[in-house]
Amino acid sequence: MSGVVYLNDNYVAENEAKVSVFDRGFLFADGVYEVIPVYNGKILFLKEHLARLQKNLDLINIKYLINFLDWQNICNKLITNNGLDRPLYIQITRGNENRRNHDYSDDIKPTIVAYSLPPITLGNCLTAKSINVMTFPDNRWNHCDVKSIALLGNILLRQIGKKNGCDEVLLTRSNGFIVEGTTSNYFIVKNNKVITPPLSSDLLPGITRQIIIELCKSNNIDFAQENILLEDILNCDEIWLSSSTKELTSVVRVNNTVINNGQPGPFWHRIANLYINNIKQILNG
Ligand SMILES: Cc1ncc(COP(=O)(O)O)c(C=O)c1O
């Protein structure tokens, strides 16, 4: 998909956007990223995404201060040039010192890239097919709260799902807690209560997850953050995934267990609609 790429203060054509082979992003996956939804030219939850990006930069000691207005301008330029419904991808790596050393200088200049992803449609999840997922031991590192570009763990786990006919893999830490998917957070419903795992270094603090929690609270839906085991999932009434681009995806099979007779459940229906309506209101507001 063609378009303009923002690269270190310049806007360049996609085929001219080049980064050194010595960039630490290329050498070590030493960087962080964000994916920000855009609908009809409007950026969704930009403050929240930039705040998470800043937190991640700080966590891995990349010295770069995000200026909200500058980034709003960059995002709007990309949207104007590339399309009104294309989510934005931002990647900041530690930069390039023309060598391959694990250690780095404190004054290294980060490499900053942003571009538009393929278009998405708001409310897609309401008509999308429900999916099958499987569980698998989580062999990623111990800082899964960092939105790192080092996604090898996620990629290999996701591929195991694909080979087994599953669209997502839910990851089990060594203590038995199932923390998140390879590209999503998740919620279960049991006895009319919506439950998601509490935040920890084992999972990404999803922006969509947070919005759903707020919607549960403001609509008096019984909600808790609790650790979840495989048996809780296999005995749940509903399970769904959340992410910025996929919204709320209903799951109807986990491993060999069919959930809710293979149909999306009433809580998913209600909360997915609340979520989409909430976004529509934000976009119109
Ligand atoms: C591992 C992981 N967990 C959770 C999420 C959901 O986060 P968000 O709702 O901010 O898109 C993502 C999104 O890409 C992810 O990669």
Closest ligand 1 atom to 49 CA: 10
Residues with Cβ within 6 A of ligand 1?
A: 180, 183-185, 204, 206-209, 242-244
**What pLDDT score was predicted for residue 15?**
95
Confidence of residue 228 (pLDDT cuts 50, 70, 90): very high
The pLDDT tens digits for 10-26 are 999 999 999 999 999 99
**What pLDDT score was predicted for residue 77?**
98
CA 183 to ligand 1 center in whole angstroms: 5
Instruction: Spell out the domains of the chain, with CATH numbers in brackets.
Output: 4-116 (3.30.470.10), 124-284 (3.20.10.10)
Confidence of residue 204 (pLDDT cuts 50, 70, 90): very high
Cβ-proximal residues to 216 (8 Å cutoff; 6+ apart), any chain:
194, 222, 223, 271
Closest ligand 1 atom to 185 CA: 4
Residue type, 13: A
User: Which residues is 115 bridged to in the sheet?
Assistant: 89
Closest ligand 1 atom to 207 CA: 10
**What pLDDT score was predicted for residue 151?**
98
Which of 173, 159, 167 is CA-nearest to residue 239? 167
By DSSP bridging, strand 111-116 and strand 131-137 are: unpaired
CA separation for the pair 280, 14 (Å, rounded): 31
CA 249 to ligand 1 center in whole angstroms: 13
Which of 97, 165, 101, 172 is CA-nearest to residue 136? 172
CA 37 to ligand 1 center in whole angstroms: 12
**What pLDDT score was predicted for residue 285?**
83
CA 22 to ligand 1 center in whole angstroms: 28
Taking CA atoms, 193 is separated from 65, 222, 223, 259, in Å, by 40, 5, 6, 16
User: Which residues is 18 bridged to in the sheet?
Assistant: none
pLDDT at 131 over 90: yes
Average pLDDT (234-238) is: 98
Q: Which residue has a Cα nearest atom 5 of ligand 1? A: 184
Alpha-carbon dihedral 45, 116, 85, 248, rounded to 10 degrees? -60
Average pLDDT (232-238) is: 98
Q: What is the mean pLDDT of the chain?
A: 97
**What pLDDT score was predicted for residue 1?**
58
Average pLDDT (85-102) is: 97
CA 210 to ligand 1 center in whole angstroms: 11
Pocket test for ligand 1, best of 184, 214, 246 (most atoms within 8 A of CB): 184
pLDDT at 259 over 80: yes
**What pLDDT score was predicted for residue 258?**
98
CA separation for the pair 206, 43 (Å, rounded): 17
Pocket test for ligand 1, best of 167, 243, 278 (most atoms within 8 A of CB): 243
Taking CA atoms, 258 is separated from 9, 196, 238, 243, in Å, by 50, 20, 10, 23
CA 99 to ligand 1 center in whole angstroms: 32
CA 142 to ligand 1 center in whole angstroms: 16
Q: Whole-model pTM above 0.85?
A: yes
Closest ligand 1 atom to 245 CA: 11
CA 153 to ligand 1 center in whole angstroms: 14
The pLDDT tens digits for 164-192 are 999 999 999 999 999 999 999 999 999 99
CA separation for the pair 114, 94 (Å, rounded): 15
CA separation for the pair 279, 122 (Å, rounded): 9
